[in-house]
Amino acid sequence: MRKSLRKPQTIYSATTVLWLIGMLAHCTWRTYAALSGPPSPDLYANHLSFQLVTFLVFLAPAWLIGLLVVLVVEFAVFGRKPNHSSKRTREKPR
């Protein structure tokens, strides 16, 4: 594995991009499933804009909380670690 792929910023960016792809796929699937069935008697529910708004109001917050949890765990695992090669950490305490 290349060294640049191990950097925490690269991991955070990849996680965010994968999260965005997953959320867009879920939004597309949900909207397609809602609009491909028989028409609803509520005419507003048959519009794409209504389906997108309901996704953003009801499901996007869950996706955001999931991203936040994953990023916090990644920061705890891959976050700042002491640099053992620096001069400050090699000095003995006085």
Rg (CA), the chain: 22
Contact 26, 82 (CB under 8 A): no
pLDDT tens for residues 46-69?
999 999 999 999 999 999 999 999
Per-residue pLDDT, averaged over 34-54, amounts to 95
Of 9, 2, 5, whose CA–CA distance to 74 is shortest?
9
| CA distances from residue 74 to 9, 37, 38, 49, 62 in whole angstroms, order as listed | 10, 40, 43, 35, 18
Percent of the chain with pLDDT over 70: 81
- Give the whole-angstrom CA distance, residue 25 versus residue 40: 23
| CA distances from residue 14 to 23, 32, 62 in whole angstroms, order as listed | 14, 27, 19
Output the pTM of the full model: 0.77
Question: Both tokens of residue 86?
Answer: 């620096």
Contact 51, 31 (CB under 8 A): yes
